[in-house]
Amino acid sequence: MNDKYFYIYNNLINYTRNKELYKNLNREDNFSDRLTLFLLHFSFFLKNYKNQENRKILQEIYDYNFRQLELSIREIGYGDQSINKTMKDYINLFHSMVSEIHFWDNLSKSEKLKKISYFLSELQNNEELLSYFDDFNLNLSKKTLNSYLKSVSNP
């Protein structure tokens, strides 16, 4: 598989490693928490760059990211049978996220909080997460897809 989307994947992973995202978790964070946050970041990424012109590139980025996720799941020890079910669950979760945040910019604060809480129910202070994802969304809208393809962006 071509690694030309490595920078994008790596940036999304770096955003997901932000310790501030986990400080309101009432337990030690785990792979599932990190993957959920990764998928949420990726959802915002696709939302911001989705247009007819970027369609082919975004499909390649989607394929690359999910292939990398599958490799990560294999690395932590899931067997072949459980990988298919696990990947199906995460892909369904991701598509649900994409659908829910599609009109993010037009939602009220309470509606946004509801959506954040739906995907990150284990986290307590979702107001901080809402602020974080509003800022993340805004930062994405200020950059071009090409800037993510060509360089490493600082999370």
155 domain-assigned = no
Q: Give the per-residue pLDDT at 60.
A: 95
Helix (H) or strand (E) holding 114: helix 109-119
Q: How many CB atoms lie within 10 A of CB 56?
A: 9
Residue 1 in this model has a pLDDT that exceeds 90: no
145 domain-assigned = yes
41 domain-assigned = yes
104 domain-assigned = yes
For residue 22, the enclosing domain spans 6-150
Pair of tokens at residue 140:
């994405």
Would the pTM of this model clear 0.75, i.e. be above it?
A: yes
Q: Say how many domains are in the chain.
A: 1
What percentage of residues in the chain have a pLDDT greater than 70? 91
14 domain-assigned = yes
Residue 118 in this model has a pLDDT that exceeds 80: yes
Averaged pLDDT score across all residues of the chain: 87
Render pLDDT for 127-152 as a digit per residue (tens, 0 to 9): 888 899 999 999 999 999 988 887 65
